[in-house]
Structure 1
Amino acid sequence: MVYTEIQEWFKREARDLPWRGDCSAWGILVSEIMLQQTPVVRVQPVWEEWLGRWPTPADFAAAPAADVLRAWGKLGYPRRALRLHAAAMEIVEKHRGAVPDTYDELLELPGVGTYTAAAVAAFAFGRRTTVVDTNIRRVHARLVIGQALPAPALTAAEMALAADLLPEDVAESVLWNASVMELGALLCTARSPKCADCPVLEKCAWIAAGQPEPTYIPKGQPWAGTDRQVRGAVMAVLRASASPIHADLLWDPAAAALHAEAAPELGKLHDLNTHAPQLQRALAGLVSDGLAQLTDSGYRLPA
C-alpha cells in the first residue's frame, strides 16, 4: 500500500534542518549519532558548532579525546562521542577519509548500528534501505496495524512490515523514509498526537478502531538520584577543568572552593548529596568506559 499523502505532506511541512538538503555524508552521520535519544532542539546548536570545528572525518579523527568530550557538552550518553571518534579514525584509515556509502560498510564502523547504517545509506547516499526508528515504528503501528504504540522492542514482524511498505523506486524510498519519520516526530507523537492535522487520517487503522489505549505504559528512563545523573555531574566537572580533579574535591564541598575553574560544576555535584558508594560507582564506570582517567594527580578527561 502506498501512502503518497505522507510524502506530499513532507514536501510542504518538513522542518528546515541543517543536515537535510546540501549536507555532507559526514554531517549526516554526525547528526544521526547525536540524535540518538536526544531531541533536535538540543542537537542542532552542538551539531553546527561541531561541523564548523571538524568539517571532515580527518579533522575529527585528529582531535584529542578530551576536546571531543568537551565539545559533546550536555548531549548525554557521551560514549557516543568516543564511538564517533573511533568511527572517524576508521574512516580515515580504511576508507581514505570518506564516509563509506553502503549499508554493510557503514555497519562495520564503531558505534554504528542497523538503524544508523540504514539512515546514513538512505539520507547521505540515496540508497534504498529500510529505515526504522521509534517515530517510524509508531506511525506504522497506528496507520497500518491499528495499535496505539508499537511493541516495547523492535520485532521481526515490524521490520517485515517496514520492508513491505518501502517503495521500490530508489528515490521514492528515500523520500518515504524521511516522510514517515517526520510525521512521527511532528504529528503522530507518542503522548499527544495531532490527528486532525494528519494527511492520512481517513486511512488510519488506529482511528478506525476507535483509538484503543496502549496495551502497556511506556516507562521513561529515570534521572533524578540515579547513577546516570551522578555520572553526568562528574563529567561536567571534568569538562570544566583543564587540570586533573583531585578526588578530595569530588567528596568534600569545602575543598571544592579551592578549585575556582570547576567550582560551579563541583557545587552542582555536591548539591546532589550523593552517597559514597554511588559516587564510587560513577567514577569507576566513567574510567571503565574510557570517559575519564585516574592519574596520580586526580581524575581527568582522557588524553
Structure 2
Amino acid sequence: MNSRLPWGLMNSSSTPCAPDQLHGIHQAVIQWFSRAGRDLPWREPACSPWGVLVSEIMLQQTPVVRVLPIWREWLDRWPTPADLAAASPADVVRAWGRLGYPRRALRLHAAATEIADHHDNQVPENHSELLALPGIGSYTAAAVAVFAFGQRYTVVDTNIRRVQARLFSGKALPSKTLTAAETRLADQLMPEDIAESVKWNQSVMELGALVCTARSPKCDECPVFDQCAWIAAGRPEPDYVPKGQSWHGTDRQVRGAIMAVLRHSPSPVSVDLLLTDRAGAEQLASRIENPGQQTADMLEKLWALPAPLEQRERALGGLLKDGLATRHGDEASLPS
C-alpha cells in the first residue's frame, strides 16, 4: 500500500490513521474552508442560536439557495422562539412557502413553544435538552450544539458521510443509510481540541457540499486529493446507483399542489374543488366565489395534475393526518 495514504491503520487501530497524518488532513480541510467556505448568515458570529436552529431545520433535504430567502424572512418576522410560538400554525405553514416537507414548519413551531415556555425563550445549550425538544433528532441536536454553542459533538450528514467514504474508505458513495461503522469513523476523525472540532465539522461538511459532490466531484479542487483512498483505488464505481426522489405523478406532488391552494386561499376551500380534475371543476364553477388570482392559479395547477380521485383523496387525507390541514364539514383549510 502506498505509504502516503492515511488509512494504513484502518483495520488495526482505534483511529483511522496516524495522528500526525490525521492532523494534516484536519488542517488542510480547515484552511480550505477559510478560503472557499460560503458566506452564510447563520455562520456569522452575531447569529443567535435560534437562527442556527431555524437554519438546521430548513436545510434538511433542502438546498441552501432555496433556504436563504425564507430563513431571512423568518428571522425578520420571528426573531425569537416566543415570536414564532405566538404565531398561528396557519401563518407558520404559509411562511414556510415552497421549502418542501412542511411538517418541519409545525415541528419548528412546537420546538419554539417548548423553548418559550420552559427555557426562558432561549435555545438550550445542553445537548440532552436540545434532544428533548419536539421534532429535534440526534443530528439537529448535535449540529446546534456545535454550530451555535461551539461544543464538541460529532455531526454526520450526507455530505460528511460522502467525504469519509471516499477519503478514508475508498468508496465512491457511503452506504444507502447511516451505519454504526460510519458513525464510529466520524467519531474517530474528530479533533480532540474543541475549537478545532467545530471547525472540522463545518469544513468537512462544506467540502462535501461544494467539492466532493455525489455526481460530479471536483477532485482537482480538493485540498486532500493526494490523501484520498478513492483516488488511489482508481475511482471505483459505486456499489449502487443513487436515485433522486421522484416527484411527478407522486402523492408528494399532489400534496404540494393541495397545500399551495390552501396557503394562498384567504378562506376555507371546498373539498370537492380539491379532489376534482379540470373537467370536474367546470361543473363545480359555481362554488368558486372570487378566490383571488393566486388561489385560482393554484387551483388550475392542482386540477391539471393527472391524478385519479383515489390519489387526491389519499393526499388530502395525509395532510389532515399530519396536521397540515383541517377539515370542517365540506371545507378544508390550513390549521388554525
SS at match of 2:147: helix
**In 2, Cα distance between the equivalents of 1:113 and 1:135?**
18
CA contact (8 A) 1:33 1:80 kept: yes
Task: Say yes or no: does 1:227 pair with 2:248.
Answer: no
- TM-score by length of structure 1 reads 0.98
**In 2, Cα distance between the equivalents of 1:114 and 1:102?**
13
**In 1, Cα distance between the equivalents of 2:330 and 2:43?**
45
* Residues 180-219 of structure 1 mapped to structure 2, 5 A cutoff: 180-219=204-243
**In 1, Cα distance between the equivalents of 2:182 and 2:291?**
53
Q: Which of these residues, 192, 196, 200, is aligned with residue 172 of structure 1?
A: 196
CA contact (8 A) 1:253 1:267 kept: no
**In 2, Cα distance between the equivalents of 1:78 and 1:118?**
22
Task: Say yes or no: does 1:83 pair with 2:97.
Answer: no
Q: Which of these residues, 110, 121, 125, is aligned with residue 101 of structure 1?
A: 125
1:123-143 deviation per Cα after TM superposition (whole angstroms, max 9, x unaligned): 000000000000000000000
Task: Say yes or no: does 1:291 pair with 2:324.
Answer: yes
Task: Say yes or no: does 1:19 pair with 2:50.
Answer: no
Residue matched to 2:6: none
Residue matched to 1:245: 269
SS at match of 2:323: coil
Deviation at residue 260 of structure 1 after TM alignment: 2.9
Q: Which of these residues, 309, 319, 335, is aligned with residue 276 of structure 1?
A: 309
CA contact (8 A) 1:10 1:179 kept: yes
Amino acid at match of 1:91: I
Structure 2 unmatched runs, 5+: 1-21
**In 2, Cα distance between the equivalents of 1:78 and 1:64?**
14
- TM-score by length of structure 2 reads 0.89
**In 2, Cα distance between the equivalents of 1:79 and 1:259?**
29
Amino acid at match of 2:126: T
Residue matched to 2:18: none
**In 2, Cα distance between the equivalents of 1:264 and 1:57?**
34
Deviation at residue 297 of structure 1 after TM alignment: 5.2
Residue matched to 2:299: 266
**In 2, Cα distance between the equivalents of 1:45 and 1:297?**
36
**In 2, Cα distance between the equivalents of 1:211 and 1:76?**
34
Runs of 4+ in 1 over 4 A off after TM superposition: 256-259
CA contact (8 A) 2:54 2:108 kept: yes
Amino acid at match of 2:214: A
Deviation at residue 259 of structure 1 after TM alignment: 4.4
**In 2, Cα distance between the equivalents of 1:115 and 1:259?**
45
**In 1, Cα distance between the equivalents of 2:28 and 2:240?**
30
Structure 1 unmatched runs, 5+: none
Aligned residues: CA RMSD = 1.0
Deviation at residue 214 of structure 1 after TM alignment: 0.1
Task: Say yes or no: does 1:159 pair with 2:190.
Answer: no
| Identity level (%) | 64
Task: Say yes or no: does 1:60 pair with 2:84.
Answer: yes
**In 1, Cα distance between the equivalents of 2:315 and 2:290?**
21
**In 2, Cα distance between the equivalents of 1:248 and 1:206?**
55
Deviation at residue 94 of structure 1 after TM alignment: 1.4
CA contact (8 A) 1:287 1:294 kept: yes
SS at match of 1:190: coil
